């Protein structure tokens, strides 16, 4: 009566009606599932108690064991298990290995689908942000990096990978091989490469900055109109590389030899090279300035219209390198000025044996015969 007078009964009825779908869900689905789980747990305990010594030994050593037909009935009940019961242990081992491989392939395919979904979302977000204040990088394809449209994400869709107008920053590429990759109009910065070999790649109009590379060799690489600033290479040899209109500044190379590396209209400034020899590395209209070379000789590396300024070379000779630089000419003149006067102006090619203009005044005739 109090509930009717206060109107609480109507509210309770309305609340019960509102909760009726939830009550039915728990009564019809959740509670039967719990009862079934309890039954399965009981069967599983019975099966564990029924394990033989051989099965226990196999579980201890291998981590798994094959069940007997009566044990399978405890777990699967009335399901038809005759096909499995007739299989030998060798066939069961082969089937288990095949199932593991299928699971691994399924996981890879699932990850690829997830990456495609992420790419679609990122493209939609990029289109929306381009109408606003710009793009925001998103993490993709690398758990240790933030990779907006970065390297490695398109290899599942097209081969060879081609990236046009896809800049990226703040990423790490670890233990990946890049083959036949083209990067066009895609600048990138704060891009780390570790154990990342490259082969037959080309960069066009893709400047780089703050790019360290460790244990990342490169071969058959071309960089056109792709300057580099603040880069470092450690244990990263290069071979058959061409730099065209790609200047570099503030770079460091350690234990990174170069073989057949051509620089064309690609000056270099403020660089350090340590234990990084250059073999057959022609430079055409590519001057160098403010560079330190330590144990980094240049062998068969001609320089054409490529002067060197403010160079510090420590045990880094130029062997068969073509034309002589002004520093080398000044060094030779300095060495010549330290010779005695009798040999200072000795020049067989011009037939002079004294200072210029004093052949007849101060220089005594010199005979070509030892006793003349």
Q: Does residue 142 register a pLDDT over 50?
A: no
Q: What's the whole-number mean pLDDT along residues 36-41? A: 84
Give me the pLDDT at residue 145, please. Answer: 42
Same domain, 208 and 238: no
Quote the distance between the C-alpha of residue 91 and its chain's center: 42
pTM summary value: 0.50
Domain end point (choices 107, 127, 157)? 107
**For residue 188, what pLDDT is reported?**
92
Q: Please, which pLDDT band fits residue 162 given cuts at 50, 70 and 90?
A: confident
The total of structural domains in the chain comes to 3
Q: How far apart are CA 118 and CA 241, in angstroms?
A: 35
Residues 239 and 217 in one domain: no
Domain boundary among 287, 307, 323: 323
- 360 in a structural domain: no
Task: Quote the pLDDT of residue 3.
Answer: 56
- Report the alpha-carbon distance of residue 107 to residue 84 in Å, rounded: 26
Q: How many CB atoms lie within 10 A of CB 4?
A: 9
Same domain, 101 and 45: yes
Residue 202 lies in a domain: yes
User: Same domain for 193 and 141?
Assistant: yes
User: Going by C-beta distance under 8 Å and a sequence separation of 6 or more, which residues neighbour residue 125?
Assistant: 136, 138
Asked if residue 148 has pLDDT above 60, the reply is: no
Give me the pLDDT at residue 278, please: 95
Residue with the larger pLDDT of the pair 210 and 70: 210
pLDDT at 118: 64
> Is 334 exposed, middle or buried (CB count within 10 Å of its CB: 0-12, 13-18, 19+)?
exposed
**Whether residues 152 and 213 fall in one domain:** yes
Is the confidence at residue 270, as pLDDT, over 50?
Answer: yes
**Per-residue pLDDT reduced to its tens digit, 307-366:** 999 999 999 998 987 555 555 555 545 544 554 554 444 444 444 444 444 444 444 444
Determine contact, residues 167/187, Cβ cutoff 8 Å. yes
**Same domain assignment for residues 166 and 191:** yes
Based on the fold, state whether residues 308 and 238 are members of the same structural domain: yes
Residues 79 and 60 in one domain: yes
Instruction: Tell me whether residue 102 is in a domain.
Output: yes
Angle 31-49/69-76 helices, nearest 10 degrees?
A: 160
pLDDT, the chain, mean: 77
In a domain, 333, yes or no: no
**Mean pLDDT (whole number) for 78-102:** 78
Task: Determine the pLDDT at residue 88.
Answer: 79
Q: What is the pLDDT of residue 35?
A: 87
Instruction: Among 3-12, 124-133, 230-239, 327-336, name the most confident range.
Output: 230-239
- Mean pLDDT across 6-18: 74
Indicate whether 208 and 243 sit together in one domain. Answer: no
Report the alpha-carbon distance of residue 348 to residue 357 in Å, rounded: 16
Which tokens belong to 164?
């046009």
More confident residue, 94 or 313: 313
Enclosing domain of residue 28? 11-107
Strands (DSSP E) contained in the chain are 162-164, 168-174, 178-179, 182-184, 188-194, 198-204, 208-214, 218-224, 228-234, 238-244, 248-254, 258-264, 268-274, 278-279, 283-284, 288-294, 298-299, 303-304, 308-314, 318-319
Q: Which of 173-182, 269-278, 290-299 has the lowest mean pLDDT?
A: 173-182
The reported pLDDT for the residue numbered 60 is 85
27-57 as b/e: b if 16+ CB within 10 A: eeeeeeeeeeeeeeeebeeebeeebeeebee
Looking at residue 240, what is its pLDDT?
Answer: 96
Q: What is the pLDDT of residues 47-61, one digit of tens each?
A: 888 888 888 888 888
Highest mean pLDDT among 37-51, 77-91, 243-257, 348-362: 243-257
The answer to the question of residue 338 being in a domain is: no
Question: Is pLDDT above 60 for 17?
Answer: yes
Q: Are residues 194 and 234 in the same domain?
A: no
Q: Specify which residues 242 forms β-bridges with.
A: 222, 262
> Does residue 330 sit within a domain?
no
Identify whether 243 is part of a domain: yes
pLDDT digits (tens, 9 = 90+) for 180-197: 889 999 999 999 999 999
Residue 258 shares a structural domain with residue 195: no
Looking at residue 309, which CATH number applies to its domain? Answer: 2.160.20
Q: Are residues 214 and 233 in the same domain?
A: no
320 vs 150, more confident:
320
With bands split at pLDDT 50, 70 and 90, how would you rate the model's confidence at 233? very high
Q: How many CB atoms lie within 10 A of CB 255?
A: 13
End-of-domain residue from the set 188, 223, 258:
223
What was the pLDDT predicted at 134?
A: 43
Q: Do the domain assignments include residue 125? A: no
């Amino acid at each position: 009566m109090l509930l009717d007078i206060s109107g609480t009964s109507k509210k309770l009825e309305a609340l019960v009606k509102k909760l009726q779908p939830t009550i039915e869900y728990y009564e019809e689905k959740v509670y039967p599932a719990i009862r079934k789980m309890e039954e399965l747990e009981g069967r599983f305990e019975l099966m564990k108690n029924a394990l033989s010594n051989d099965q226990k030994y196999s579980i201890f050593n291998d981590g798994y064991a094959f069940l007997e037909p009566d044990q399978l009935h405890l777990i699967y009940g009335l399901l038809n298990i005759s096909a499995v019961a007739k299989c030998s242990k060798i066939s069961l081992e082969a089937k288990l290995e095949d199932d593991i491989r299928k699971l691994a392939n399924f996981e890879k395919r699932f990850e690829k689908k997830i990456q495609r979904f992420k790419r679609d979302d990122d493209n939609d977000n990029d289109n929306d942000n381009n109408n606003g204040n710009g793009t925001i990088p998103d993490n993709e394809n690398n758990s240790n990096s933030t990779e907006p449209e970065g390297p490695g994400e398109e290899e599942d869709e097209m081969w060879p990978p081609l990236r046009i107008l896809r800049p990226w920053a703040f990423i790490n590429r670890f233990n990946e091989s890049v083959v036949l990759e083209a990067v066009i109009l895609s600048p990138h910065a704060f891009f780390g490469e570790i154990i990342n070999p490259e082969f037959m790649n080309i960069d066009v109009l893709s400047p780089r900055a703050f790019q360290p590379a460790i244990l990342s060799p490169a071969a058959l690489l071309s960089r056109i109109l792709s300057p580099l600033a603040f880069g470092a290479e450690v244990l990263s040899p290069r071979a058959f590389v061409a730099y065209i209109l790609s200047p570099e500044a503030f770079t460091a190379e350690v234990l990174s030899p170069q073989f057949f590396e051509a620089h064309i209209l690609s000056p270099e400034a403020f660089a350090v090279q340590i234990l990084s020899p250059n073999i057959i590395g022609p430079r055409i209209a590519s001057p160098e300035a403010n560079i330190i070379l330590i144990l980094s000789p240049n062998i068969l590396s001609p320089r054409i219209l490529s002067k060197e300024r403010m160079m510090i070379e420590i045990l880094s000779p130029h062997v068969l390198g073509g034309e002589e630089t002004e520093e080398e000419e000044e060094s030779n003149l300095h060495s010549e000025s330290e010779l005695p006067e009798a040999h200072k102006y000795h020049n067989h090619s011009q037939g002079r044996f004294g200072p210029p203009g004093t052949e007849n005044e101060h220089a005594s005739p010199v005979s070509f015969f030892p006793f003349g």
